[in-house]
């Protein structure tokens, strides 16, 4: 495996300083959604550990593509990885004993979530069932990617723990996603209680960081590209939605801490100090990147904005995972600086 991106290599090296390699060495690990943002970073990081630290990790990379094609790494010829083209709604047939499963695969396109709520719900629930069956069969430790959207909305700003829930409108078809994610959490928790499943559900803040392609339309990439290209940052909303954010390798560090501790249950993952409105986030990026010609423009286009999640004002609290040794290292301005440098 060849890492073609120096920032990601630096991120991986910094990440490795804070983890215990023994929890990963000589393990067989399956990653679903391996062509997605965090899925691809995890696959590449595991190969990095093999190449740089002789970790002897065997990897099953699951996704719907014909081949693995990451802009930041060349991994096609690595003998430690087996790529399987498969939809998560299809039951898994893997003969080798698995130790760890990292389940990131899920529909995420807001337009699809709103226009195809039945398909969205079925994909998430059926995929979760197949992954749980596989984990139980192998007595493997499962990390299930849930969503911060399961918290719903609150009338006022709210600091949320794992036990806090707001309002989810069951008549809003866009909510097929958080409702299905919450149902998946319940299904996993039920299997923990009754079938001996070893698993955790993680509720991730908005993840920012090197590893996402430049073509991405994630909000932080829209902000970054506007700063690089000296354009205005046009926000379809009023920019007042408040959310927590986290750098990519800080998120990976938290997940690796869960694996290291074989933690069971539900955990929030965020950088609590990176909690602010989208408008303020955009202005911080402008300052951090010295984009003097860029300004924030509020479009507040309700018609175009209605495919996205409802405005939230929450701070994701992380006391529970901090007890396992988690801490965040990269602040919000540096998130954008590192992201920009990854494309240079």
**Is the distance from CB of 239 to CB of 276 less than 8 angstroms?**
no
Q: Which residues pair with 144 in a beta bridge?
A: 103, 201
pLDDT reported for residue 176:
95
SS3 of 241-264: the string is: CEEEEEEHHHHHHHHHHHHHHCCC
Tens digits of per-residue pLDDT, 123-138? 999 999 999 999 999 9
Mean pLDDT of the chain: 93
User: How many Cα neighbours within 13 Å face the side chain of 69?
Assistant: 5
pLDDT reported for residue 240:
79
Beta strand pairing call for 271-277 and 242-247? antiparallel
The burial of 177, by beta-carbon neighbours within 10 Å (0-12 exposed, 13-18 middle, 19 or more buried), is given as buried
Region 306-313 average pLDDT: 62
pLDDT reported for residue 307:
46
Region 282-311 average pLDDT: 79
User: How many Cα neighbours within 13 Å face the side chain of 245?
Assistant: 23
Region 295-324 average pLDDT: 78
Q: Tokens standing for 244?
A: 């927590």
User: How many Cα neighbours within 13 Å face the side chain of 204?
Assistant: 20
pTM of the predicted model over 0.75: yes
Q: Which CATH class is domain 2-208+243-273+314-329?
A: alpha beta
Q: Spell out the residues 6+ positions from residue 305 whose beta carbon is closer than 8 angstroms to its own.
A: 236, 237
What is the rounded distance in angstroms from the CA atom of residue 64 to the CA atom of residue 270? 29
CA neighbor of 24 nearest in space, from 256, 208, 201: 256
More confident residue, 108 or 15: 15
CA neighbor of 285 nearest in space, from 238, 231, 213: 231
What is the rounded distance in angstroms from the CA atom of residue 149 to the CA atom of residue 182? 9
pLDDT reported for residue 304:
52
Tens digits of per-residue pLDDT, 213-271? 999 988 999 999 999 999 999 887 777 789 899 999 999 999 999 999 999 999 999 99
Region 51-75 average pLDDT: 92
CA neighbor of 268 nearest in space, from 161, 180, 152, 196: 161
**Is the distance from CB of 316 to CB of 207 less than 8 angstroms?**
no
Q: Spell out the residues 6+ positions from residue 251 whose beta carbon is closer than 8 angstroms to its own.
A: 38, 204, 205, 207, 209, 269
Tens digits of per-residue pLDDT, 107-117? 988 889 999 99
């Amino acid at each position: 495996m060849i890492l073609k991106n120096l920032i990601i290599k630096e991120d991986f090296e910094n990440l490795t300083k804070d983890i215990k390699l023994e929890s990963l060495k000589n393990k067989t690990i399956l990653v679903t959604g391996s062509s997605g943002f965090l899925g691809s970073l995890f696959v590449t990081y595991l190969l990095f550990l093999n190449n740089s630290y002789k970790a002897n990790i065997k990897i099953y990379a699951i996704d719907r593509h014909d081949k693995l094609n990451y802009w930041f790494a060349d991994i096609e010829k690595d003998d430690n990885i087996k790529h399987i083209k498969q939809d998560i709604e299809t039951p898994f047939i893997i003969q080798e004993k698995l130790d760890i499963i990292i389940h990131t695969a899920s529909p995420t396109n807001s337009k699809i979530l709103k226009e195809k709520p039945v398909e969205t719900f079925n994909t998430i629930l059926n995929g979760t069932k197949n992954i749980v069956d596989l984990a139980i069969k192998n007595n493997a430790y499962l990390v299930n990617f849930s969503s911060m959207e399961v918290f719903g909305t609150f009338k006022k700003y709210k600091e949320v723990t794992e036990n806090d829930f707001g309002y989810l409108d069951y008549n809003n078809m866009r909510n097929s996603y958080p409702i299905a994610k919450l149902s998946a959490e319940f299904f996993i928790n039920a299997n923990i209680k009754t079938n001996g499943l070893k698993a955790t559900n993680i509720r991730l803040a908005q993840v920012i960081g090197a590893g996402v392609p430049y073509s991405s339309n994630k909000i932080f990439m829209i902000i970054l590209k506007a700063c690089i290209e000296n354009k205005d940052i046009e926000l379809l909303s009023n920019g007042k939605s408040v959310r927590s954010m986290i750098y990519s390798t800080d998120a990976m560090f938290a997940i690796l801490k869960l694996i290291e501790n074989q933690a069971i249950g539900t955990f929030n993952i965020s950088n609590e100090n990176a909690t602010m409105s989208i408008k303020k986030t955009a202005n911080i990026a402008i300052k951090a990147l010295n984009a003097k010609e860029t300004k924030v423009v509020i479009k507040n286009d309700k018609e175009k904005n209605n495919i996205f999640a409802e405005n939230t004002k929450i701070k994701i609290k992380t006391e529970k995972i901090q007890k396992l040794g988690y801490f965040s290292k990269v602040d919000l301005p540096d998130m954008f600086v590192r992201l920009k440098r990854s494309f240079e």
